[in-house]
């Protein structure tokens, strides 16, 4: 781990981080407007032009579940790939994986839940059943040489079950990694986490033997804690952060979830700390302003609002 930055309080932070941009998938899936495939592809290419090297591009799930992303194959065919950029897609079944393989996708993500209520609402299965369903998908993807990200939702709180215990997160997270996932994204799906909770969960995961460089964090900003939680994760050595351009997103299965942490808001913080991201903040702002026009509403990102002028 390269700890090359020392912030104001003397605690070491990573010298550089990876932004895992989820706007084209997690961001757009919760919008009421369905954008044309050409606009989605342009969105992806604008994000790459701004310096993003990981852009989650589409979702191969049943179109009845996520109609906003029903044109995933068309979007992928319209995107002109850049060699050093990863374009992951979310898959929910073997069929979705086969579609991804046919299109030459090299990175996939699969989705699980820590809580039983959300697993049943989102996956129509128990936690155990959902992991069993994912096992052959992950195994097949790894056999095909793919990188596999495992998303875990409701890691800090559930709108029906309340606060989620660290032991529960640890139990499901270690099982998800045991399937063969190469990366684990810990999600604060409804945005209730606080720095103390983030510290406890990350310390438990790292102590269990999950490599710190395989852990990512995914924060929502419902209570305005996303940036504080990000700084906490940085101090624990986390170097991969899920964000969404302009703060797009939420969760179609969790009505209390507000938008994802805005990429631009995080870039403002990271660049202020001297942490390298490789991303041009002004180009990101311009992209989010452009996308806001396509969606017919302003961006919720404070940084976009401040710099759009």
- The catalytically annotated residue of 155, 160, 181, 251 is 251
User: How far apart (Å, rounded) are the C-alpha atoms in residues 247 and 200?
Assistant: 26
Q: What is the DSSP string of 94-114?
A: HHHHHHHHHTT--EEEEEEES
179 closest CA partner among 220, 222, 140: 140
Quick one: tokens of 93? Answer: 């079944």
Residue 162: beta bridge partners? Answer: 158
Is the CA virtual torsion 282, 288, 291, 297 positive or negative? Answer: negative
Q: What is the DSSP string of 47-83?
A: HHHTT-SBB--EEES-TTT-GGGTTHHHHHHHS---T
67 closest CA partner among 29, 103, 40, 93: 29
Query: Collapsing DSSP states into helix, strand and coil, what is residue 115?
Result: coil
Q: Give yes or no: 251 in active site.
A: yes
User: How far apart (Å, rounded) are the C-alpha atoms in residues 47 and 181?
Assistant: 26
3-state helix, strand, coil in the chain (%, to 5): 45, 15, 40
59 closest CA partner among 17, 7, 105, 19: 105
How many Å from the N-terminal Cα to the C-terminal Cα in the chain? Answer: 38
- Hey, which residues are catalytic here? 251
């Amino acid at each position: 781990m390269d700890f090359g930055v020392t912030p104001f309080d003397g605690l070491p932070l990573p010298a550089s981080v990876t932004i895992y941009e989820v706007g084209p998938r997690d961001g757009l899936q919760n919008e009421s407007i369905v954008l044309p495939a050409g606009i989605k592809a342009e969105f992806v290419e604008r994000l790459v032009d701004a310096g993003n090297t990981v852009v989650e591009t589409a979702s191969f799930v049943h179109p009845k579940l996520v109609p906003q992303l029903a044109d995933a194959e068309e979007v992928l065919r319209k995107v002109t790939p850049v060699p050093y950029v990863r374009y992951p897609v979310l898959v929910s079944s073997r069929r979705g994986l086969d579609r991804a393989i046919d299109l030459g996708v090299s990175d996939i993500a699969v989705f699980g839940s820590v809580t039983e209520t959300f697993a049943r609402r989102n996956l129509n299965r128990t936690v155990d059943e959902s992991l069993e369903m994912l096992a052959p998908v992950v195994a097949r993807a790894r056999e095909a040489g793919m990188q596999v990200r495992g998303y875990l939702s409701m890691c800090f709180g559930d709108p029906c079950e309340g606060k989620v215990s660290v032991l529960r997160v640890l139990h499901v997270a270690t099982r998800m990694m045991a399937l063969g996932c190469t990366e684990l994204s810990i999600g604060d799906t409804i945005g209730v986490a606080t720095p103390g909770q983030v510290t406890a969960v990350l310390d438990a995961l790292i102590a269990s033997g999950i490599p710190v460089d395989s852990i990512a964090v995914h924060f929502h900003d419902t209570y305005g804690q996303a940036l504080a939680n990000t700084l906490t994760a940085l101090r624990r050595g986390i170097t991969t952060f899920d964000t969404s351009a302009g703060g797009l997103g939420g969760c179609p299965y969790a009505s209390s979830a507000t938008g994802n942490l805005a990429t631009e808001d995080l870039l403002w913080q990271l660049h202020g700390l001297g942490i390298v991201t490789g991303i041009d903040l002004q180009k990101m702002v311009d992209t989010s302003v452009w996308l806001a026009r396509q969606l017919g509403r302003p961006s919720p990102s404070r940084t976009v609002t401040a710099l759009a002028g």
